[in-house]
Amino acid sequence: MESSLRLLFAFSFSMAASAIFFVVGRLFLSWYILPYLAYRKLMSNGFSGPKPSFPMGNLNDMKKDQKIDSSISPSSCLRKISNDIHSTAFPYFVKWQTLFGKVFVYWLGTEPFLYIADPKFLKNMSADVKGKSWGKPRVFKHDREPMFGNGLLMVEGEDWVRHRHTITPAFTPANLKSMAGLMVESVNSMLDRWAGLVDSGHQEIDVEREIISTAGEIISRTSFGVSHENGREVLEKLRDVQIALFKSIRHVGVPYGKLLNPKLTLKSRKLGSEIDALLLSIITERRSRPQNGQPETDLLGLLLARNTTDGRPKGALTTKELVDECKTFFFGGHETTALALTWTLFQLALHPEWQNQLRKEISEVIGDVKNIDATMLVGLKKMGWVMNEVLRLYPPAPNVQRQTREDILVGDLMIPQGTNIWIDLVSMHHDQNLWGESVNEFKPERFKDDPLYGGCKHKMGFLPFGFGGRMCVGRNLSAMEYKIALTLILSKFSFTLSQNYIHSPSIMLSLRPMHGLPLVFKPL
């Protein structure tokens, strides 16, 4: 009896020991051996980079380099505003570029990333890769699940083709045109609010917050057909997730890094579920709405038209996929455009001569802004140059990420399948070799003779909307909203930068003014 008990104990012990050994082995394999082998493969292919440490990779070096200037104050800041933001927002990349060139390998936790700021290399790498063959880094997909789920920004392969086909018709010229009226209405109500504030002696307004809120209202109404009040709850929760993710970014790629921030992790998961529930109720309400025989052509209408509850047609999105797309578009559809407008008002506040040039163009092309019409907007050429120049200097989406799903040969260098890729748009947009000596100056006229590339020496050196098949699906919607909003703002106010402005362009997924953008307004 005793010996069989001993036998049982020995057996259980050895089973437990093997299980522990197996788990530890698996973890060691996936955290250390596999990333190290991937790294070795890249290094043996001729790539170099800063030395990583386990398990933080290069995260500690990045944190150390990102010094915060505690002496900064609004008045000292106004004296030293510079558009050379690459060196302030990404000092570690600038340092590594001087050591290793414009293509190198660095580590986020145990995840090696191939960093690229060389448009020629980017072109050679991406020339033969179709949109559906690119992946997105698993480490970000997992991290950003509560914000984007597996929506268009993150989805891959044949599923990406299916999602993109379903969504693209929402952005046809006819559909965009039908959104113009709602955009005008939302922007005018923001401007009425500004006029009220100025009348009551509050000339200084933080426009970043105002514009983000109005852009949120626009996407809620134009793409989802919901009131601003209903959309606001989704947008506020998305913003809270964004802040929570930003706070935990310090441990991105670190195994079980989320456990180091349990509160933030739980918070973003909880918010993610609440957002899903809100979106599901918007979808359910829309499904039950009588259609009056008219096809609904806004984004949600199009998504639902292919998604009847009784027997889904081939290629239709599942309810989970629908929710993820709504999440992606609620967020992606407002913040980037709002930031493009915000950075534009910042530049125009510093360059009143451009405010005047644009006002002149508006009066020649549009005339009375009460009659603004989407078809007139193409005539606003100078405004197009200004938009491009702002997207060059302050790209709201400052980097693009990929993961290879096949081996890619670039000249005689091989990028192995599964490699994470980080494309630094800010670096390319601020590269003196590509743009010349005036690279950090605001010069919209550089787009006069070359409206698409602004005279950049390489066509892949200017990519505010990404590249290839995965280029931004909302870029035309964004250009229309930008032109409508800027036209209305410029026709009602002139503005200057407030003494309280602190120049601190920072990354919180997107590139934003860390301390807002206070401007001083004067009605015209």
Cβ-based nearer residue to ligand HEM, 225 or 333: 333
| Residue 466: CB minimum distance to ligand HEM, A | 3
Cβ-based nearer residue to ligand HEM, 267 or 402: 402
Q: Integer distance in angstroms from the first to the last C-alpha of the chain?
A: 98
| Residue 237: CB minimum distance to ligand HEM, A | 18
Residue 417 and residue 404: Cα distance in Å, rounded?
5
Q: Phi/psi at 413 (nearest 5 deg)? A: -100, 140
| Residue 16: CB minimum distance to ligand HEM, A | 45
Cβ-based nearer residue to ligand HEM, 74 or 469: 469
Contact set with ligand HEM (CB under 6 A): 152-153, 164, 328-329, 332-333, 336-337, 340, 391, 396-397, 400, 464-466, 470, 472-474, 477-478
The amino acid present at 154, given as its one-letter code, is M
Residue 85 and residue 81: Cα distance in Å, rounded?
10
The amino acid present at 204, given as its one-letter code, is E
Cβ-based nearer residue to ligand HEM, 119 or 332: 332
| Residue 164: CB minimum distance to ligand HEM, A | 5
| Residue 68: CB minimum distance to ligand HEM, A | 26
Which alpha helices (DSSP H) does 351-496 contain, by range? 352-365, 381-393, 425-429, 432-435, 475-492
Cβ-based nearer residue to ligand HEM, 38 or 400: 400
Cβ-based nearer residue to ligand HEM, 210 or 324: 324
Residue nearest to ligand HEM (CB): 474
Contact call for residues 480 and 179 (beta carbons, < 8 A) = yes
Q: Is 472 annotated as a binding residue?
A: yes
Contact call for residues 237 and 274 (beta carbons, < 8 A) = yes
Q: Which helix (H) or strand (E) holds 34?
A: helix 34-44
User: Which three-class secondary structure state does DSSP give residue 252?
Assistant: coil
Residue 461 and residue 116: Cα distance in Å, rounded?
11
With a CB cutoff of 8 Å and minimum separation 6, the contacts of 57 are: 106, 107, 108, 109, 110, 111, 112, 253, 254
The amino acid present at 431, given as its one-letter code, is D
Contact call for residues 161 and 132 (beta carbons, < 8 A) = yes
Cβ-based nearer residue to ligand HEM, 327 or 446: 327
| Residue 492: CB minimum distance to ligand HEM, A | 22
Angle between helix 207-224 and 173-199 (nearest 10): 150
| Residue 358: CB minimum distance to ligand HEM, A | 18
Residue 323 and residue 328: Cα distance in Å, rounded?
9
Task: Write the DSSP assignment of 264-329 as a string of letters.
Answer: HHHHHHHHHHHHHHHHHHHHHHHHHS--TTPPP-SHHHHHHHT--SSSPPTTPPPHHHHHHHHHHH
| Residue 414: CB minimum distance to ligand HEM, A | 23
Annotation: binding site: 472
Annotation: binding site for heme: 472
